[in-house]
Amino acid sequence: MVSQELLDILRCPVCVQEDKGLLTYHQQSWLICQDCGRKYPIREDIPVMLIDEGDKWVSVAAEALPVPPPAG
């Protein structure tokens, strides 16, 4: 489980440059950007905040995301 303190400071690495880049914690397995819709997996309690990783899942609906996320 990701700590609330970490969730409070994490931002989408793409959107934070021009917008807020706020993230939604989804099913304790994903962080979803409220601005662009990129989805970042959480693997072994570590958010994978790489832009390429977020790009892989941007077109997948939140309810269709695999839980847990597949291995990288």
DSSP string over 8-37: HH---TTGGGTS---EEEETTTEEEETTT-
Q: Tell me, rounded to whole angstroms, the distance of Cα 23 from its chain centroid.
A: 7
Does residue 13 lie within any of the structural domains? yes
pTM of the model: 0.93
Q: What domain count does the chain have?
A: 1
pLDDT in tens, the chain (72 residues): 889 999 999 999 999 988 899 999 999 999 999 999 999 999 999 999 999 999 999 999 999 999 999 987
70 within a domain of the structure (yes/no): no
On whether residue 71 sits in a domain, the answer given is no
**Has residue 57 been placed in a domain?**
yes
What CATH number did the domain enclosing 31 receive? 2.20.25
Amino acid at 12: C
Residue range(s) defining the domain that contains residue 56: 4-64
Question: Is residue 60 in some structural domain?
Answer: yes
